[in-house]
Structure 1
Amino acid sequence: MNAQRPTALIADDEPLLRRALTRQLAQAWPELEVVAQTRNGRETVERFEALRPDICFLDVHMPGLSGVEAARHIGRRAHLVFVTAYDQYAVQAFAQGALDYLVKPVEAERLADTIARLRERLRAAQPAPDTEALLERLAAQLQKKSAPETLRWIRASVGQALRLIGVDEIDFLRSDEKYTRIAWRGDGGKPGEALIRTPLKELAAQLDPAQFVQVHRAVVVNLRAISHVTRGANETAHIHLKGRDEVLPVSRSYLHHFRQM
């Protein structure tokens, strides 16, 4: 352990999220020195071995070696904090065990609680808890989840800020040349928009088909956001949304979604 200034490593495959957590830590724990930011589990293990930080903030889902697998390698040589998008099975497992976790987007209050626990452990020179059995169970669960998961969050730049948009907040997605336009509800239900580089086709494949349907080659809509649908000419229709002025087209190929109107 570092007897002077505590050190930390942050692992996340999203650069914007790594930087955001680094800024939050700098504000909430100025004495902490972030000595490395890594993009995947394998790089995390390599940098940990080289630098031996006191604390590791690990994203659960990373390409290649997962955060859980990296944690199993690190073991009790550092205090571990998992950072995850809301994932029911993982959060339940962390809450029942001896592991600290943060849910994306990281809330200041939750981060402050975690920092307080870490400070106390470092002050008392407490060893990191033995979590080998729990990590083994989590790693096994990750391997079993072979079916693709539906998206829970979409990361998008809104102005100068990184925004994690909950999928349930999205009204519709629309292809916009090389980008996808996300129309969503912000705080208090206020409409917002963002552009991301991920193609609509790729996003549509990851959305829950019971909630999101494609209604046009360039449009996917959240069924919960629909106010009503009006029939148009030539076997087409138009979707009217709750609390929005936009009217979305339904092309003939997708009209079967609304045959029972």
Structure 2
Amino acid sequence: MTVSSDVDPSRESSRVRAVLADDERLMREQLRARLAEVWPELDIVAEAKHGAEAVELVQQHRPDVVFLDIRMPGMTGVDAAREIAQMDVGEEGWLPEIVFITAYDQYAVEAFEQGAADYVLKPAERERLLRTVERLRKRLAARAKLEAGAPVAPDELPSGASLQQLLHRLASPGGAPRPAPLQWIQATVGQSIQMIPVDEVLFFISDEKYTRVQTPTVEALIRKPIKELVDELDPQKFWQIHRSTLVAVHAIAAVTRDFRGRQIVSVKGSNEKLEVSRSYTHLFKGM
């Protein structure tokens, strides 16, 4: 791991910070050198040799951008991205923008071209990297505008739902088909076990031990955490709006703001109000 130490503290808050993860040292050095050419104000605050180290460094440094190699030993870049997406970034934090690095995975390239995330092909070519940097700058600027309460054009931020779909598609090596989405939930209701159709679920909310499953008529408990449900549910039907909350898209009645400026989801068939964490506000663009 290499950590930059020559950052001017007076400029640190205005500079974009990044973590770079690749198991090949030469690839890390090459990408770092190219980024220095096309994005001089970018600070590579840390480098990781595998996915688990990348997750640890992101938690430690809270960077604006993470460059993740898709194929790394142990925890892959896709696995690391899923862990990062579940991080508790705090009330004032943002999840970082993620750029995947790939040597040959054309399936991934086609997915990234849809705009859900960006990618860099190995070896990183200067012209392609310039386009990546331009896209990242726009997204980071849009986030800053949202934080300041300024209006943001609908196409300025990527869809969080699209990113969830992308991670689902990339989870299997070579883009192999994933198992069919979960159709039934086996849950505890009082003293009995019930089979609840997923299509009837309004939302899932987790605490440290259990996840609450809410339908219009039933409230039940399961031991499965949100990060596992995200993998098993259809991302077109369920959106993650908080690290502890999944909501059925069909059950979203309205999205409003409270007196603190936080987005609040009203749910059809329920009096529950679900908070949208700042990491997921881009799901409801322009609100």
Matching residue within 119, 125, 136 for 1:118: 136
CA distance 1:55–1:136, shift in 2 (3 Å): same
Counterpart of 1:59 in structure 2 is 69
1:72 maps onto 2:88 in alignment: no
What does the per-residue CA deviation read over 1:128-176, in whole Å, with 9 as the maximum and x for residues that have no partner? Answer: 641112102210345859xxxxxxxxxxxxxxxxxxxxxxxxxxxxxxx
1:93 maps onto 2:111 in alignment: yes
State the structure with bigger RCO (CA 8 A, min sep 6), 1 or 2: 2
Between the aligned partners of 2:176 and 2:158, the Cα distance in structure 1 is 28
The question of whether the paired residues in 2 share the 8 Å contact of 1:13 and 1:62 is answered with yes
SS, match of residue 7 in structure 1: strand
Q: Which is richer in strand?
A: 1
The question of whether the paired residues in 1 share the 8 Å contact of 2:112 and 2:118 is answered with yes
Counterpart of 2:29 in structure 1 is 19
Between the aligned partners of 2:174 and 2:105, the Cα distance in structure 1 is 11
The question of whether the paired residues in 2 share the 8 Å contact of 1:78 and 1:128 is answered with no
After TM superposition, the structure 1 = structure 2 runs for residues 110-189 of structure 1, keeping only pairs within 5 Å, are 110-125=128-143, 129-130=159-160, 131-142=163-174, 144=176
Larger radius of gyration: 1
The question of whether the paired residues in 2 share the 8 Å contact of 1:72 and 1:136 is answered with no
The question of whether the paired residues in 1 share the 8 Å contact of 2:70 and 2:101 is answered with yes
Between the aligned partners of 1:56 and 1:109, the Cα distance in structure 2 is 19
What does the per-residue CA deviation read over 1:86-109, in whole Å, with 9 as the maximum and x for residues that have no partner? Answer: 222221222235110111111100
SS, match of residue 125 in structure 1: helix
Matching residue within 121, 129, 137 for 1:103: 121
Between the aligned partners of 1:135 and 1:14, the Cα distance in structure 2 is 23
Between the aligned partners of 1:140 and 1:3, the Cα distance in structure 2 is 38
Between the aligned partners of 1:3 and 1:129, the Cα distance in structure 2 is 27
CA distance 1:8–1:112, shift in 2 (3 Å): same
SS, match of residue 119 in structure 2: strand
Percent identity over paired residues: 49
Unaligned runs of 5+ in 1: 146-261
Between the aligned partners of 2:83 and 2:158, the Cα distance in structure 1 is 14
SS, match of residue 109 in structure 2: helix
The question of whether the paired residues in 2 share the 8 Å contact of 1:79 and 1:128 is answered with no
Unaligned runs of 5+ in 2: 1-11, 86-93, 145-156, 178-287
SS, match of residue 111 in structure 2: helix
134-143 vs 89-98, which moves further? 134-143
Supply the AA of the counterpart residue of 2:109.
V
Between the aligned partners of 1:143 and 1:103, the Cα distance in structure 2 is 17
The question of whether the paired residues in 1 share the 8 Å contact of 2:115 and 2:158 is answered with no
CA distance 1:107–1:21, shift in 2 (3 Å): same
Between the aligned partners of 1:51 and 1:135, the Cα distance in structure 2 is 23
Between the aligned partners of 1:132 and 1:69, the Cα distance in structure 2 is 12
Between the aligned partners of 1:62 and 1:144, the Cα distance in structure 2 is 18
The question of whether the paired residues in 1 share the 8 Å contact of 2:22 and 2:50 is answered with yes
Total equivalences in the alignment: 144
CA distance 1:86–1:98, shift in 2 (3 Å): same
